A and B are shown apart, each in its own frame.
Chain A
């Protein structure tokens, strides 16, 4: 038999060989060719757990904490692990209904399957969590995860600080640094300094076993990265002054911007109405945001200090005075006679008084419209230039150098440029060659097509205070240990010789001593100011004021706008003077002034106006919305 079937050993061996080769080919395919299997393995075993770094804190210029982090707890659920428990008590602890509970579980399953942990409830406050956490062991399938949310200990400066919120899908696709559910700064400093504040996320690679139980770190954390805390920022705001400013602006619409002229640092930036920044935190944000957004009368989310555009009114006369001198058509001894108004052709600009014959200093002090209309005429009809257009363009370049009509390079998002008409604009509006100095005379008194933001107004005050230069206003002093970028440490000069500023400063000083804002004089402080009462086509005049103090080497430059406040001297000037007194003296001696300002309410006019809109007033030659004041009708100014 041995010899008979001996050849069969080859057949048997052959069968064994075929099996062996088949296995090796199969392993070759599975281990070296089929990449999906490798991917599946790491997907099911490794979980990349993001370690969220705390966002950087924000301090004021004196080291007071403005924004900090606070723990909040995400309640997580793994639906497959839920066992019977007292849902009534569970819902009660978290303050939700049974329907919410069921909906939450369903959502988790749809989003992330029943076998993986998903967020059940976001950002539960420590107060609620404390009670819940005691019973957490009973609620099988539920765990918690700590996150940080923003907290604002001083409750000030919501518009400056901004807020954070979840990133949108679109950004996640664009920027791999963000994943859905991450937070990002949406406005204010939170937005503009996002890259410094956010820090760097860490990743912890955890291994999970088949029962979805955490087993430990992959290779003892060799491939993990630690989160890097966001940089702390020191902003230029004086929190105490900001808080005081906000108090003064309560029940008023408008803004206060105060700048340190020596550095360009913004000391205060109030936009009123404002809100408590803590409203925009955690689980209540969505609800509060919608509420603030719906408020179309107060528009509290609108940052007036950077975005609202007001005709500067008489505050603009200071610039007019400087340009006139630099152009050689005006000096401190130039006199004009005021008969109570300026008339040329069929155009007339009223003055609120018969000022008689006055020089430049007094014209500023009493804000004489006639005087400055004459100055404007002389600038526009300067023999130096062959045409009004040329003179206008020269004038426009001066105005632009003050930062008007151009974007401020501020480190806050969404600042606007205001409005400064161009030759092109007038050529279109009136027809090329069909307009003269008289046509655009309203510019002389800061009306017409001019529009400036409170930030630009404050910077204008700083330029005059510095006698001709400014630093770009900015909000951040230092990021971590590094001071802010160089561009904020560079002096910008306006093309007006320093000696021309003195007479303007003298005039502004007179404003406080004997002029339009004499009632807001601060005992012991030599302060320079200029009122503005800007016409408003839809309602009461806006009350404006710019100032700096002390007169020489000023430490603070300020602009105040109170919408619908009436005359500049009524609201804006007293508020500015209180702010300056607070900043320079730290105490307020004029208690009656302070009380009147704190209790004053001008927002009612805004509300009235919005609820009962008046039919548009007839405007003489003003059909564009941009023109906020008309020249022809009786123009009143202080």
Chain B
């Protein structure tokens, strides 16, 4: 065992670790700048968020080391138990968890808060990878689909019950994993169309939208089918489904929580009052815009620091580099994430083990969905959904979660040559 452990060092993907290190450092420096309390100038002052983030980073590094030191097969072997523990945690937190602004999603141990929905996502990823990587008969396809969907949906539902819809949304990352492993592209496309329809129905005129869709359906039937009854029912079915969505949109929309409705309205720029529900986004946009090409310089930002931008150390941390480092700095961060994610896909694709590959795709997809939603909402391209920016946002629970996610995959990757096909 010991010589094999020593052997893995040259197989570790140091490129990913470098990007990880860069992002962690950027995050810490930005938290220092965003929170910046002149009474506590030291970045190691543990009474301040930047000092605490340092603790989370160090403990995160320790976790990463432990992961790298452990046996790669551990994660495959303990995938189901870890999945089970996470689901149990998600149930338990509903009853034991602290009530923070109406959501029961946190275990609190002294200073440290643990959000199982966030921290446990690696275990859900492991469980899914384990299940999908098992050799299965082609005849079981239906069952496999159902079980895989359930493995993702169950924790999602539990999280929604905790009133953490935002975190639940990030679980939709697994759709990319499932797609990679054979899920029909139509589902991905359908999901995309569904969201488009939903937005169009909220923004546009429903009657005109319906007429256009009916026209498209008729054209499709006449031009691209053999004009059989079967085709007619198929196309008719899709049309009816779409119409149902269009006219059901308002019903569904009205049954959302008020703050969710507002967030969607803000995103769609409908009846937005910039001093009320639109304040957060408006202030974030102002701060980002004020950065210009080169930014105002590190620690020279004004908007985030002076509390114009809310949650400027967590959900809206991206505002600070935009303001202080300008377009160049912000674009650099986005590109850093993109390179990391593409690197992870590359690593996943080079795995001999299906388990490792699926897990790797999961990590890449989870990072992607977090970055896409977080940066997107900072830039006003997405509705405001309160989720962290990986490695950069303040917070122990999320930092550990992303670190674990990444390093488990790097550990599996370091072991890739040991696996026989």
Contact = CB atoms under 8 A, between A and B. Distances in A.
Interface string B369-411: 0001001100111000000000000000000000000000000
A34 interface: yes
Main secondary structure of the interface of A (DSSP, over half): helix
Interface in B308-345: 308, 322, 326-327, 330-331, 334-335, 337-338, 341-342, 345
Given A23-B381, A31-B326, A13 B289 contact: no
Nearest to A42: B290
Interface string B263-296: 0000000000000000000010111111111000
Contact of B293 (A22, A32, A211, A218): A32
B176 A12 contact: yes
A218 B306 CA distance: 12
Contacts of A215: 306
Contacts of B341: 16
B308 A44 contact: yes
Contact of A37 (B180, B185, B286, B381): B286
A5 B349 contact: no
Interface residues of B, number: 45
Given A12-B345, A210-B307, A37 B182 contact: no
A32 B341 CA distance: 27
Nearest to B288: A30
Given A41-B287, A41-B289, A41-B303, A27 B327 contact: yes
A26 B302 CA distance: 22
Contacts of B330: 27, 31
B338 A207 contact: no
B368 interface: yes
B376 to A, nearest CB: 7
B379 A31 contact: no
A210 B308 contact: yes
A26 B349 contact: no
Given A17-B338, A24-B334, A41-B289, A6 B349 contact: yes
B362 to A, nearest CB: 12
A131 interface: no
Contact of B180 (A9, A26, A211): A9
B129 to A, nearest CB: 13
Contact of A30 (B176, B182, B285, B361): B285
Contacts of A289: none
Nearest to B289: A37
B379 A1 contact: no
B331 A26 contact: no
A11 B175 CA distance: 13
Contacts of A84: none
Contacts of B379: 23, 26-27, 30
A26 to B, nearest CB: 5
B104 interface: no
B345 A13 contact: yes
A209 B290 contact: no
B45 interface: no
Interface in A556-584: none
B91 interface: no
Nearest to A24: B331
Interface in B171-212: 176, 179-182, 185
Interface in A1-51: 1-2, 4-6, 8-9, 11-13, 15-17, 19-20, 22-24, 26-28, 30-32, 34, 36-38, 40-42, 44-46
A444 B291 CA distance: 82
Main secondary structure of the interface of B (DSSP, over half): helix
A40 B354 contact: no
A208 interface: yes
B333 to A, nearest CB: 10
Contacts of B181: 1, 5
A5 B182 contact: yes
Interface string A209-224: 1110001001000000
A37 B288 contact: yes
A12 B178 CA distance: 11
Given A2-B354, A40-B286, A20 B302 contact: no
Nearest to B306: A209
B49 interface: no
Interface string B98-131: 0000000000000000000000000000000000
Contact of A27 (B288, B345, B349, B354): B288
A38 B289 contact: yes
B282 to A, nearest CB: 8
A404 to B, nearest CB: 66
Contacts of A46: 302
B327 A9 contact: no
B357 interface: yes
B339 to A, nearest CB: 9
B349 A31 contact: no
Contacts of B335: 20, 24
Nearest to B307: A210
A32 B357 CA distance: 40
Contact of A41 (B185, B302, B327, B342): B302
Interface string B63-74: 000000000000
Contact of A23 (B292, B334, B361): B334
B93 to A, nearest CB: 31
Nearest to A45: B302
B327 A16 contact: no
B368 A16 contact: yes
B306 A210 contact: yes
Contact of B308 (A24, A45, A218): A45
B338 A16 contact: yes
Interface in B143-176: 176
Nearest to A12: B176
A27 B322 contact: yes
A45 B345 CA distance: 43
Contact of B290 (A6, A8, A41, A218): A41
Contacts of A24: 331, 334-335
7 contacts: A2-B354, A8-B180, A12-B361, A20-B338, A24-B335, A41-B286, A45-B302
What 9 pairs between A and B have smallest CB-CB spacing? A37-B289, A41-B290, A209-B306, A210-B307, A31-B327, A20-B338, A210-B308, A40-B286, A45-B302
Interface of A: 1-2, 4-6, 8-9, 11-13, 15-17, 19-20, 22-24, 26-28, 30-32, 34, 36-38, 40-42, 44-46, 207-211, 215, 218
Given A24-B335, A28-B327, 15 more contacts: A4-B182, A5-B181, A8-B180, A12-B361, A12-B365, A20-B334, A26-B379, A27-B330, A31-B291, A31-B322, A36-B289, A40-B286, A45-B303, A209-B306, A215-B306
